[in-house]
Structure 1
Amino acid sequence: MKNALITGATKGMGRSIAMAFAKEGISVAVCSRNAKDLDDFKKELLQINPQIKVFTQVADGSVKEQLLQFAAAAELELGFISIVVNNLGMFDPSSILDESDSAFEKQMNTNLMPTYHLYRYFGKTMMAAREGHIFTICSVVAINPIAEAGTYSVTKFALLGLSRVMRLEMMPYNVKVTAVIPGSTLTNSWEGTTIDKDKFVLPDDIASAIINTYKMSAGANVDEIIIKPVGGQI
C-alpha cells in the first residue's frame, strides 16, 4: 500500500486531496494544530475507505521541530512515504510597506520552509528507492505577483523556484516533482464571500488534477499545473 503525507490537510485543498487519495486506496498522514479537527477527519477518511491507514498528529507545520517530528512519526507508523503534498500555506493581504514587522518571517515559515524541510527529510529516501512524487501547492502570484499581497507573492515565487530545483535534483532518480499553481480557489480564505462558487476553482478540482497526475505512466512527469477560474482571477 502506498502512503501519502499531506500538510495543512483538514481544510480546503488539503482536505480534498487527502480524501481523493483515500478513495484511491492510499494511506495518509495528516497534521493540524487542532486535535478535534484531526479526530473528526480521521473518522471521515476511514469511512471513505476502511482499508487504508490514517495517521494524524497535532503539529504546527510552520515550526521546523514539530514538522519533522510529524514526518518521522508518520514514517514510523506507515512505512515508506512515497507521496508528499506540500499544501500548508497562509495568505496575508498586505503590501510589503504596510505589513507588520513579523509578517515576512511568519509567511516564509508557513509558505516556503515546510516544503524545504520535508524535501530534505524525504528526498534522499526517495532517491534511494528511485520512487516518489512530491506535489507543491504554489499560486498564480508566483507568476503574476500582486502588490496587495507583496510578501505572499514573494514566498510563492520562492516556492515555485524551489519546486523547479527539486525537479532537477530528483530527475536522475526517477522521482517526480509537480508544482500545482492555482488561481482563485474557494477555500477558507474566501469565507463569507457572496460570489458565486462557479466563479472559482474548487478544492476538488485541485485534488482531481493531483490524482490524475499521480496516476500517469511511470515515464511521465507533469512539471507544473496552472488552474485558473474560467472567467479570470477574482
Structure 2
Amino acid sequence: MAQRLQGRTALITGSTSNIGRSIAVAFAHEGAHVVVSGRDEARGAEVVDEIRSSGGQADFVRADLDGSSAASRALAAEVLTLLGGRVDVLVNNAGIYPSPGTLDTDDETFDRVYGVNVKAPFFLTQALVPTMIGAGSGVVINLGSWIARLAVPRGSLYSSTKGAMETLTRAWAAEFGPQGVRVNAISPGVVVSPDWDPSTVHPGEVMMHGTPAGRSGHPDAIAGAAVYLASDDAAFVHGTVIDVDGGRTGVAVVAG
C-alpha cells in the first residue's frame, strides 16, 4: 500500500513527547521526512532514533517557542535550510497548560501561556506559509482542545488560547486556501501520555465517564487524524476542526 505522505516534508512542534511524538512517528511511517522539534535535545534524539531505526527520515531541531516572533522565525529559517527550502506540512502542536483560576492568574502567566500557545504558532505560520504558497500547496494543522467549547471550572486561560487557535484555523483557511494551502485543526479530548503510571488514575479520566468511548484516549488516535488531514485524502477539507475526543463534546453525557 502506498505511503500517504511519501516525498513530503513536515515540521511538528512540541514533538519530543506525547501527542507531538506520535504525530512525528506516524508521519514518518507514512513516508514524510519529519523535523522533530522541542526544547529537550535528549528526548528529541530518542524520537529521531525511533523513526530512523524503522527506516524513516527524521532530524531534530531544538527550539524554545516562547512567543517571540524571533524564536518562531529562527525555527522556520533553520528548518527551511535543513529541508532545502520546503516544508509541506506544519503541525502547530507545542503548548503549555498552567491551570490557575482566573482570579489567581497574574500578568506573567497570562503572557507566557498566550505567547507559547498562540503567538508562537501565529508567527511560525506566518514564516512558513509563504514557501507553501510559492510551491502551490501546503498543509497547516493546528491543535485545539475540547475544553475550548465545553468549559470546565478551571482552565479559562488555556481554553481561551485553544479557542483562539480554532478561530485562526478558520481565518487562515479563508486567507490561504485560495492560494493552495489547506488549514485545519484537531481538537483532542482527554489524552493520557503513554508514560503515565498505569497504577494511578489520570485526573482527566473522570471526565470521560459516560461518553461513548468511556475512557481516555491514546496519542496515536490524534496522530491518525493528523495523517488524514496532511494527506491527499483530505484534499477537500478546509477550515475544519476534527473532534477526536471519544464523543465528549458531540454526545450528551448522562450521569449514571
**TM-score normalised per structure 2:** 0.82
Going from structure 1 to structure 2, the CA distance change for 1:231 and 1:118 (only over 3 Å counts) comes to closer
Supply the RMSD in Å over aligned alpha carbons: 2.3
SS of 2:10's equivalent in the other structure is: strand
Going from structure 1 to structure 2, the CA distance change for 1:219 and 1:149 (only over 3 Å counts) comes to closer
| Identity among equivalent pairs (%) | 28
Partner amino acid, structure 2, of 1:213:
L
Following superposition, the deviation at residue 122 of structure 1 comes to 1.1
Following superposition, the deviation at residue 126 of structure 1 comes to 1.3
1:178 and 1:218 mapped to 2: Cα distance?
10
Match of 1:70 in 2: 75
Query: Is 2:114 the partner of 1:97?
Result: no
SS of 2:96's equivalent in the other structure is: coil
Match of 2:216 in 1: 200
Counterpart mapping for 1:77-116 below 5 A: 77-79=82-84, 80-116=86-122
1:181 to 176, 183, 187: 187
Equivalent residues of 1:3, 1:26 under 8 A apart: yes
Structure 2 gap segments, 5+ residues each = 1-6, 209-213
Q: For each residue in 1:49-101, what CA deviation from the matched residue of structure 2 results, as whole angstroms up to 9, or x when unmatched?
A: 24x2x221222122533332222111111121010000001112221111233
Larger deviation, residues 25-34 vs 61-70 = 61-70
Match of 2:246 in 1: 229
Q: For each residue in 1:91-139, what CA deviation from the matched residue of structure 2 results, as whole angstroms up to 9, or x when unmatched?
A: 1222111123311101001111121011110112212222000000010
Query: Is 2:38 the partner of 1:22?
Result: no
Equivalent residues of 1:91, 1:189 under 8 A apart: no
Equivalent residues of 2:67, 2:118 under 8 A apart: no
2:230 and 2:96 mapped to 1: Cα distance?
25
Number of aligned residue pairs: 231
1:218 and 1:229 mapped to 2: Cα distance?
21
Match of 2:50 in 1: 44
Partner amino acid, structure 1, of 2:242:
I
Going from structure 1 to structure 2, the CA distance change for 1:93 and 1:142 (only over 3 Å counts) comes to same
